[in-house]
Amino acid sequence: MLVELDPSRRVLFAVGATKAILGVGPEGVIGRNFMDMVSPKDRVLVDQLLFMTSKKGRIDNVTIRMQGEKGLSAPLAFAGYVMPDLKDHFFLALRTQAHLDEKGNTEEGVERDKSTGLLSGDSFSEMAVKKLDRKLFA
Protein backbone atom coordinates (compact mmCIF):
# COMPACT_ATOMS: atom_id res chain seq x y z
CA MET A 1 0.00 0.00 0.00
CA LEU A 2 1.40 3.40 -0.97
CA VAL A 3 0.17 6.53 0.79
CA GLU A 4 0.82 10.27 0.49
CA LEU A 5 0.15 12.42 3.56
CA ASP A 6 0.11 16.18 3.99
CA PRO A 7 2.00 17.66 6.97
CA SER A 8 -1.12 17.29 9.16
CA ARG A 9 -1.04 13.54 8.32
CA ARG A 10 -4.22 13.56 6.26
CA VAL A 11 -4.20 10.98 3.45
CA LEU A 12 -4.10 12.69 0.04
CA PHE A 13 -3.42 9.62 -2.10
CA ALA A 14 -3.63 5.87 -1.53
CA VAL A 15 -3.15 2.92 -3.83
CA GLY A 16 -2.45 -0.77 -3.53
CA ALA A 17 -3.54 -3.23 -0.88
CA THR A 18 -5.82 -0.88 1.09
CA LYS A 19 -8.65 -3.44 0.94
CA ALA A 20 -6.46 -6.28 2.23
CA ILE A 21 -4.82 -4.17 4.95
CA LEU A 22 -7.66 -1.87 6.07
CA GLY A 23 -10.80 -3.47 4.67
CA VAL A 24 -11.64 -0.49 2.44
CA GLY A 25 -10.61 0.61 -1.03
CA PRO A 26 -8.36 3.62 -1.64
CA GLU A 27 -11.40 5.92 -1.82
CA GLY A 28 -12.23 4.97 1.78
CA VAL A 29 -8.77 6.03 2.96
CA ILE A 30 -8.37 9.39 1.20
CA GLY A 31 -9.15 12.32 3.46
CA ARG A 32 -8.75 10.35 6.70
CA ASN A 33 -6.10 11.03 9.32
CA PHE A 34 -3.41 8.38 8.87
CA MET A 35 -2.82 8.12 12.62
CA ASP A 36 -6.44 7.04 13.16
CA MET A 37 -5.70 3.97 11.01
CA VAL A 38 -2.54 2.99 12.91
CA SER A 39 -2.93 0.40 15.67
CA PRO A 40 -3.32 2.21 19.01
CA LYS A 41 -0.26 0.34 20.33
CA ASP A 42 1.89 1.68 17.46
CA ARG A 43 0.67 5.30 17.34
CA VAL A 44 3.41 6.76 19.54
CA LEU A 45 6.08 4.95 17.51
CA VAL A 46 4.61 6.07 14.16
CA ASP A 47 4.11 9.62 15.45
CA GLN A 48 7.79 9.81 16.48
CA LEU A 49 8.98 8.24 13.22
CA LEU A 50 7.00 10.77 11.17
CA PHE A 51 8.25 13.64 13.35
CA MET A 52 11.89 12.56 12.96
CA THR A 53 11.43 11.96 9.25
CA SER A 54 9.97 15.45 8.78
CA LYS A 55 13.22 16.89 10.18
CA LYS A 56 15.64 14.66 8.31
CA GLY A 57 15.89 11.08 7.23
CA ARG A 58 13.79 8.14 6.27
CA ILE A 59 11.75 5.37 7.80
CA ASP A 60 13.22 2.01 6.85
CA ASN A 61 11.09 -1.10 7.34
CA VAL A 62 9.84 -0.67 10.88
CA THR A 63 7.21 -3.25 11.82
CA ILE A 64 3.79 -1.80 12.69
CA ARG A 65 0.14 -2.83 12.49
CA MET A 66 -2.80 -0.91 11.09
CA GLN A 67 -6.34 -0.80 12.48
CA GLY A 68 -8.95 -1.45 9.81
CA GLU A 69 -12.53 -2.57 9.27
CA LYS A 70 -11.49 -6.17 10.02
CA GLY A 71 -9.47 -5.31 13.13
CA LEU A 72 -5.69 -5.33 13.35
CA SER A 73 -3.69 -6.04 10.22
CA ALA A 74 -0.90 -8.55 10.00
CA PRO A 75 2.50 -7.05 10.89
CA LEU A 76 3.56 -4.64 8.15
CA ALA A 77 6.92 -3.30 7.04
CA PHE A 78 6.58 0.50 7.20
CA ALA A 79 8.91 2.73 5.18
CA GLY A 80 8.86 6.28 3.88
CA TYR A 81 10.33 9.72 3.55
CA VAL A 82 9.39 13.43 3.31
CA MET A 83 9.73 15.51 0.17
CA PRO A 84 10.54 19.11 1.15
CA ASP A 85 10.20 20.14 -2.51
CA LEU A 86 6.63 18.78 -2.53
CA LYS A 87 5.18 20.81 0.35
CA ASP A 88 6.71 18.52 3.02
CA HIS A 89 4.41 15.67 2.07
CA PHE A 90 5.11 12.18 3.44
CA PHE A 91 5.37 9.29 0.99
CA LEU A 92 4.86 5.99 2.79
CA ALA A 93 4.83 2.32 1.87
CA LEU A 94 3.33 -0.49 3.92
CA ARG A 95 3.70 -4.13 2.95
CA THR A 96 3.08 -7.50 4.48
CA GLN A 97 5.63 -10.24 4.61
CA ALA A 98 2.98 -12.75 3.56
CA HIS A 99 1.29 -11.94 0.28
CA LEU A 100 -2.46 -11.39 0.57
CA ASP A 101 -5.20 -11.67 -2.01
CA GLU A 102 -7.79 -8.92 -2.59
CA LYS A 103 -9.89 -10.27 0.30
CA GLY A 104 -6.99 -10.16 2.76
CA ASN A 105 -6.40 -13.93 2.78
CA THR A 106 -2.92 -15.44 2.57
CA GLU A 107 -2.20 -16.77 -0.89
CA GLU A 108 -2.02 -20.56 -0.88
CA GLY A 109 0.14 -22.43 -3.37
CA VAL A 110 1.45 -19.27 -4.99
CA GLU A 111 5.09 -19.22 -5.96
CA ARG A 112 7.00 -15.95 -5.96
CA ASP A 113 10.51 -14.87 -6.84
CA LYS A 114 12.34 -14.48 -3.52
CA SER A 115 14.19 -11.30 -4.49
CA THR A 116 11.36 -9.36 -6.20
CA GLY A 117 8.18 -10.86 -4.74
CA LEU A 118 6.76 -11.14 -8.25
CA LEU A 119 4.66 -14.16 -9.17
CA SER A 120 6.44 -16.99 -10.96
CA GLY A 121 5.32 -17.57 -14.55
CA ASP A 122 3.16 -20.57 -13.62
CA SER A 123 1.58 -18.86 -10.60
CA PHE A 124 0.86 -15.75 -12.66
CA SER A 125 -0.84 -17.82 -15.37
CA GLU A 126 -2.94 -19.76 -12.84
CA MET A 127 -4.01 -16.59 -11.03
CA ALA A 128 -4.89 -14.82 -14.30
CA VAL A 129 -7.05 -17.76 -15.42
CA LYS A 130 -8.87 -17.84 -12.05
CA LYS A 131 -9.60 -14.10 -12.16
CA LEU A 132 -10.78 -14.26 -15.77
CA ASP A 133 -13.04 -17.22 -14.96
CA ARG A 134 -14.60 -15.28 -12.08
CA LYS A 135 -15.24 -12.24 -14.27
CA LEU A 136 -16.52 -14.18 -17.29
CA PHE A 137 -18.76 -16.56 -15.38
CA ALA A 138 -19.91 -14.32 -12.54
| Judgement on whether residues 42 and 89 belong to the same structural domain of the protein | yes
What's the pLDDT score for residue 9?
95
As a whole-number percent, the residues of the chain with pLDDT over 90 amount to: 49
116: confidence class by pLDDT, cuts 50, 70, 90 = low
Average pLDDT over residues 1-7: 95
What contacts 20, CB < 8 A, 6 or more positions away?
A: 96, 100, 101, 102, 103, 104
81: confidence class by pLDDT, cuts 50, 70, 90 = very high
| Judgement on whether residues 130 and 63 belong to the same structural domain of the protein | no
What's the pLDDT score for residue 57?
79
Number of domains in the chain: 2
Residue 130, domain extent: 108-138
104 vs 22 pLDDT, higher one: 22
| Judgement on whether residues 115 and 101 belong to the same structural domain of the protein | no
**CATH code of the domain in which 23 resides:** 3.30.450.20
| Judgement on whether residues 66 and 121 belong to the same structural domain of the protein | no
